[in-house]
Amino acid sequence: MTAAFAAGVMTAALTEASAAGPAVCVAIDEAHDTLSPRERSAALLMLSKQFEINGNRVADGDCEMRYTLSHIQLGERISVTLSGPGGSREGTALGLEDLAALYSQMVRSIVTGRPMSGFNVIDRTNVTAAQDAPAHRIHPDSFGYARLGYGGVLATARMAGRVSASGTGPNSTRLLSTYRS
């Protein structure tokens, strides 16, 4: 009975490990990264968590699925690149607080093979500040309506009631109204 129980536990553990997918390694491309060392380690932890959420085991050291992460920060805008065997993904975060949502979209794109454009990898939990901002629109310098001639109302013979007209001066408009008597 004990051997059968141990075999069942071992089978369940192997099934769970194979369901988790291949091991993934993540590293910072220090030659192309402008974040501080403390921010880099936090970025690796957040990225690793996203791979785990999407069904991949994260391993330390070398492995088959190695991904490199780099950040270029200019002001509050951070350009992020994630490259590896599943392809390369790029995105922009508006500040450090926005990185978790961007990592979620990038990893989901890599794992599912769907592009990052449109709503392919976005849900309520990972919308970035840039995606939530209203579209930039160019406002015209001036805008107005021009009206030429008089306006009028067309009526058919089927309309019940009488039609009266008011306003007969050259600068007045005709007002047509229908009413029942």
Q: Encode pLDDT of 134-143 as tens digits.
A: 777 776 666 6
CB 150 within 8 A of CB 173: yes
The overall average pLDDT reported for the chain is 76
DSSP 33-78: --S-HHHHHHHHHHHHHHHHHTT-EE-SS--SEEEEEEEEEETTEE
* Per-residue pLDDT tens over the stretch 31-47: 999 999 999 999 999 99
- pLDDT bin (cut points 50, 70, 90) of residue 133 is confident
Closest CA to 52 of 4, 20, 74, 92: 20
Domains for the chain: give ranges and CATH numbers.
Answer: 19-130 (3.30.160)
Average pLDDT over residues 10-20: 41
Beta-bridge mates of residue 179: 162
> Longest Cα pair distance anywhere in the chain, in angstroms?
108
Report the distance separating Cα 35 and Cα 67, nearest Å. 17
- pLDDT bin (cut points 50, 70, 90) of residue 154 is low
* Per-residue pLDDT tens over the stretch 67-120: 999 999 999 999 999 999 989 999 999 999 999 999 999 999 999 998 888 788
